[in-house]
Structure 1
């Protein structure tokens, strides 16, 4: 008889729906042997079986982050990471310390929030004070802005006469001088100033990211950009090295980055990259297309104009809609899915229109998905189910942080603000929901995300939620039920990544990727109290509190 190598007992089991009674899970050779009522699998336990007594705590399939940037997160963890604080003085202290330690030709970091600065954005003069002798380049937490000093602007050739590039903007003061903030495509010239990361450094970053995600119960993920993007290095070489060395233990899929200037004629080169990755064991069956920017800097593509002082037009479509239709049809015909970045309601509509045309031309194909979905026009809600387009949501954003209350919602106006992150409306319209963190944009903690998805308030421990409004539900009608939210962060995400036959369920034959929490899930308020006690990947402990 084959005995279990590990036996988890007395669990409040979510598989991913909650089972009605306590359950046990038997594990052997990295997979789940059996699932049964508590005490019912005792005959599978031998002398060497390791027992994990859940004591009534929740045991779930390992979380699957459906939209994340692990290498960027790992680089941030090992570098000047500003994401752990939320104040001008905190940033000043961290940057000064890092600059004093760093002897390289450039001082770099990431993780700043605009609302920590007077006026909502930083200025080059603070970096000039802290780093007077070298270029300084700091990416914002959302990766759509870069804060640089005067030396970096000089070396990049950016001055008051520099035009805004396509799909980007140079922020300027009242006299037309660059302030040191470069949005989206405007940051590309300063990205060239950053020293190249050596392979060993990127390997350490990838392993640090994996360890951090394991500590939060994330056992599989979908990398949302495989390719070089702004200040972020291409993560593909790091993945291939970590796979070859056996260090990559998580189950990973990814989306190949589509450069905005490309046309359908560039697809064959991307397919060659995909084939090389597949031969090494990395599934890249998706293409990432960024169709707009973000609302806060007026680059999200909106149907109606932005409101309020300083608002600029309706935002930009990164790819002209007619060209987008041709690109998506070509990708779809090649058997790949598209992972869109769609924030504004016009960008979301353009993405849906492109999928609609691809379906009419090519017939049924792989499911496509749109990530972020800050604002969706009500007329477009039912189209997600009609077209089989997955709604890839980042729930931790759906609360009334100061940056959202003071910078974002006034730009949208009351009517669009009521449709801000319409998770409940998407679910009611039949859309399939999956969840991701977009780390390092925000924390990759699934319990924080589940708390916000189900309450529309901020987790109590989040340092970026210090204003009282963040504790009051924002658009409470858009809250998700607990079971629907858990599914979106487990099985739903695995389905969208095409790996639901392996992960996302606690069922016989599936990989034994499990997360044991510190107690049972007892409603929406539970997530703010719970922590990850243990994470198993293929039956092996990879994290223990």
Structure 2
């Protein structure tokens, strides 16, 4: 090897996840994997080569998060962030009071990340915020982004009182006396978040960069942004992505899923086509379209085939289909015809069926397109629909960290599903056994973006001991439907090669092999040979051989 082609990096004494059995060394040249071997490759090193001794730890392909919301997550990092706190009303009160005191000039106090199970009855109340902030409007988006918690001042500014009718695809939560509680579900939250002061372009860029830095620290080298559009009171991040990519500050590989407005129809397609045509800059491309077909089970807006069990919310017996199923079929046909990938949100079993029906209709009209459509979340899937993923070539985009018996699942969700549906809750095992392609993502900031925690939960159906939100007597010890677990290596592949496939990038990333981009993550321990995967942490993250994260 000549001086001009000497490796930039050689990693030795590693447990390498590759097709070479027993591989221990990887050499990186020109941003790509040059060699993978069972023997040490330090002999290839030149005077400018960085030689890294992994000391037996695992070297993996960089993770690709197949479903994430970096702008919302970055805003959460930079505002009043409740997501990392213990589930304690007192801790929430202290954090909100401190943030308000530190920002006396803010007209609105806003934040994110609250968990419903922190409060008696499973939801907070506006009275809690009124005690803290009686005069300034306050609004906090829930950790799952399907609910907004507002104080009385914010409700008044939005014109919401006890008699305000529910908006389309939304609900104003009310107590037994008919009083608005301050909880606004789904699109009802827009009534308040639309009043938040405009977010500056500079703040959007800062939020995306903050999210990128955190994702890189998790070993994530690329993702699919599941909402490139205006939502939750936040602007469309498309131009910010383009600017960061042009300036070389977007170090991750990003596919943008352009937001489909359920309130509009097919007339929005030309705008999406135009956005796609101008979006290909650097490592960013907006080639997918995100369609949200239902809500979530916890507030009974997830669309179910049969009524919710237990004490369901008013007017939500079987949940909500945000788009008429026949219209959804037309939408999918038109998007598929224009070679968009379709990224569908479906939580309830009825929504999953409606999405599969729509994609099947599209495939019959435009057979042979390799658009790699996917359905995300899949909280409940009818056994009749599980084989259809493989039959239709639809990717099952799963958020595995949710599949554990924590307090929120046990106390709020399972009673609504009932025993008949519980065995089909997050049916990863059934989907894998029936041949479905799996891709994994976090849905951050809904839940933590740590892929190693998600892989642990996918394989064990337990909460990671390291996760502060894995609360409750059963979260760490009683598996959630153990038969739905998947092998750890299957989960690992879903978060690497599977998500790379979903982003049409499997020929360049997702595996450690000669010629592939050197998008790599070096852990602090060997997870392939037995150490608990959730306890591991990244020491080094590379994108094309360049360090985008290195533990200090």
TM over 0.5: yes
Secondary structure of 2:241's aligned partner: helix
1 CA distance for matches of 2:387 and 2:303?
A: 20
Q: Is the 8 A contact 1:256 1:287 kept in 2?
A: yes
Report the counterpart of residue 118 of structure 2 in structure 1: 116
2 CA distance for matches of 1:280 and 1:433?
A: 27
Report the counterpart of residue 351 of structure 2 in structure 1: 347
Q: Is the 8 A contact 1:451 1:525 kept in 2?
A: no
2 CA distance for matches of 1:451 and 1:88?
A: 29
Q: Is the 8 A contact 2:100 2:109 kept in 1?
A: yes
**Superposition map of 1:362-511 within 5 A:** 362-365=366-369, 366-471=371-476, 472-511=478-517
- Determine which of 533, 537, 545 is the counterpart of 2:539: 533
Q: Deviation at 1:524? A: 7.0
Query: Which deviations, in whole Å up to 9, do the C-alpha atoms of 1:453-486 show, x marking residues without a partner?
Result: 1111111121111212101211111111011111
2 CA distance for matches of 1:465 and 1:58?
A: 26
Report the counterpart of residue 23 of structure 1 in structure 2: 24
- Determine which of 317, 325, 328 is the counterpart of 1:324: 328
Matched, 1:315 2:316: no
- Determine which of 117, 129, 132 is the counterpart of 1:130: 132
Q: Is the 8 A contact 2:312 2:416 kept in 1?
A: no
Which segments of 5 or more consecutive residues in structure 1 lack a partner in the other structure?
Answer: none
Most deviating of 42-51 and 157-166: 42-51
- Determine which of 337, 357, 362 is the counterpart of 2:361: 357
Q: Is the 8 A contact 1:139 1:231 kept in 2?
A: no
Matched, 1:542 2:548: yes
CA RMSD of aligned residues (A): 1.3
Report the counterpart of residue 3 of structure 1 in structure 2: 6
1 CA distance for matches of 2:220 and 2:535?
A: 18
Q: Deviation at 1:232? A: 3.0
Flag the 1:123–1:252 CA change in 2: closer, same or farther, 3 A. same
Q: State the aligned residue count.
A: 542
Matched, 1:84 2:84: yes
Most deviating of 467-476 and 404-413: 467-476
Query: Which deviations, in whole Å up to 9, do the C-alpha atoms of 1:309-343 show, x marking residues without a partner?
Result: 23431001000001001000000000111100000
Q: Deviation at 1:44? A: 2.1
1 CA distance for matches of 2:529 and 2:258?
A: 38
Flag the 1:404–1:538 CA change in 2: closer, same or farther, 3 A. same
Secondary structure of 1:316's aligned partner: coil
Secondary structure of 2:178's aligned partner: coil
Q: Deviation at 1:522? A: 4.1
2 CA distance for matches of 1:209 and 1:164?
A: 34
Q: Is the 8 A contact 2:466 2:535 kept in 1?
A: no
2 CA distance for matches of 1:524 and 1:37?
A: 20
Q: Is the 8 A contact 1:482 1:523 kept in 2?
A: no
2 CA distance for matches of 1:417 and 1:482?
A: 23
Q: Is the 8 A contact 1:394 1:437 kept in 2?
A: yes
Q: Is the 8 A contact 1:300 1:315 kept in 2?
A: yes
Q: Is the 8 A contact 1:451 1:524 kept in 2?
A: no
Secondary structure of 1:95's aligned partner: helix
Report the counterpart of residue 56 of structure 1 in structure 2: 56
Query: Which deviations, in whole Å up to 9, do the C-alpha atoms of 1:365-384 show, x marking residues without a partner?
Result: 21110000000000000000
1 CA distance for matches of 2:549 and 2:403?
A: 29
Report the counterpart of residue 518 of structure 2 in structure 1: 512
Q: Is the 8 A contact 1:455 1:524 kept in 2?
A: no
Report the counterpart of residue 291 of structure 2 in structure 1: 289
2 CA distance for matches of 1:4 and 1:524?
A: 31
Q: Deviation at 1:38? A: 2.1
**Superposition map of 1:222-237 within 5 A:** 222-237=224-239
Q: Is the 8 A contact 1:454 1:524 kept in 2?
A: no
- Determine which of 334, 337, 351 is the counterpart of 1:333: 337
Matched, 1:173 2:175: yes
Query: Which deviations, in whole Å up to 9, do the C-alpha atoms of 1:192-249 show, x marking residues without a partner?
Result: 2211111112211111111111111001111011001123331112212211221111
Query: Which deviations, in whole Å up to 9, do the C-alpha atoms of 1:32-73 show, x marking residues without a partner?
Result: 11212222x344211221101112211000010000011111
2 CA distance for matches of 1:189 and 1:505?
A: 45
Most deviating of 320-329 and 83-92: 83-92
Most deviating of 422-431 and 30-39: 30-39
2 CA distance for matches of 1:534 and 1:230?
A: 34
2 CA distance for matches of 1:449 and 1:4?
A: 33
1 CA distance for matches of 2:318 and 2:485?
A: 28
Report the counterpart of residue 38 of structure 2 in structure 1: 37
2 CA distance for matches of 1:281 and 1:424?
A: 33
Secondary structure of 2:344's aligned partner: strand
Q: Is the 8 A contact 1:381 1:426 kept in 2?
A: yes
1 CA distance for matches of 2:263 and 2:242?
A: 27
2 CA distance for matches of 1:61 and 1:421?
A: 26
Most deviating of 376-385 and 69-78: 69-78
2 CA distance for matches of 1:131 and 1:70?
A: 29
Q: Is the 8 A contact 1:482 1:524 kept in 2?
A: no
TM-score (norm 2): 0.96
Q: Is the 8 A contact 2:11 2:51 kept in 1?
A: yes
Query: Which deviations, in whole Å up to 9, do the C-alpha atoms of 1:146-184 show, x marking residues without a partner?
Result: 000001111111112211112111000112121000000
Most deviating of 487-496 and 266-275: 266-275
Q: Is the 8 A contact 2:389 2:396 kept in 1?
A: yes
Q: Deviation at 1:20? A: 2.5
